[in-house]
Amino acid sequence: MRRQIISIKEDTKAPENPTLFHHLLSADIPESEKSVERLTDEANTVIGAGQETVAWILTVIVTHLLTNASALRKLKEELKEAIPDPNVIVPEAKLAALPYLTGVIKEGLRLGHGVTSRLARVPHEPLIFPGDDRKSKGPSKQWVIPPWTPVSMTSMFMHLDPVTFPSPHEFKPERWSDPSTFPTLDKNIVAFTKGSRQCLGMNLAYVEMYLWLAKTFRRYGSRDVRFESDEGILELVDCGLEDIEIVGDRFVPITKTKNGVRFRVLP
């Protein structure tokens, strides 16, 4: 990455396909933000954010599917109907219209959380919240957070809220199947955060998840769920749901097991 950044800095020709670093170098920002060291750090951040997060969400999804025969069967039935020929590459836009596959991905994001650290924001205006009147019949108290007060909260608080997501620790893709409640549920998924600081790679991440899951589970099943046209099965190796249980936060989720999740492909 360092060599590539040096090459970009030394190349004076207009690039045919400009990258993030071309834009940074031409931006009206301090020169200290354009040093090789600074841009190399930026490259490491981009690579880490693009690999670690999506890989973890897919790990969570695969583990749940391979331990939940009912969910895997529903997913495979939907994929078989939508993709009669498993050798055909289906555009992501068509896959995104599949309700159960979408529910699988949303549950993976909800239970994988993305970044678990408390990402601080400093609002310039007061934040006004109504009180929690779910347990009281009287008027609720209004809460006001003054301007310039640092505010932060882990996404886990929202993703595991039993009011928004009943049985929050259960992997239930069907909870996303009702069009009338989907917007409310989706509003409370903050794996990519929200607003002006929303993850720049969100759309790419969705494309990766839709394509990988559709291609993989259209062709492969499990020991409990195998279709006639499947090429083989996926099998967890000495691991299970306990290996994706989150016990710590180091910006990304930390599990209690050292070996992580492993699976093998069998004919």
State the virtual CA torsion across 115, 118, 119, 123 in degrees, nearest 10.
150
Tell me the C-alpha distance between 5 and 49, whole Å.
18
Q: What are phi and psi of 111, to 5 degrees?
A: -90, -15
Residue 259: per-residue pLDDT: 82
**Superfamily per CATH, domain 36-130+144-266:** Cytochrome P450 (1.10.630.10)
State how beta strands 232-236 and 263-266 pair.
antiparallel
Residue 258: per-residue pLDDT: 77
Buried b (16+ CB within 10 A) or exposed e, 17-48: eeeebeebbeeeeeeeebeeeebbebbeebee
Residue 105: per-residue pLDDT: 98
Boundaries of every domain in the chain: 36-130+144-266
Q: What is the pLDDT along the chain (267 residues), one digit of tens a residue?
A: 999 999 999 988 888 899 889 999 999 999 999 999 999 999 998 888 889 899 999 999 999 999 999 999 999 999 999 999 999 989 999 999 999 999 999 999 999 999 899 988 899 999 998 876 555 565 667 889 999 999 998 999 999 999 999 999 999 999 999 999 999 999 999 999 988 889 989 999 999 999 999 999 999 999 999 999 999 999 999 999 999 999 998 888 999 887 889 999 999
- Condensed to tens digits (0 to 9), the pLDDT of residues 242-266 reads 999 999 988 889 998 878 899 999 9
E-assigned strand segments in 98-209: 127-130, 142-145
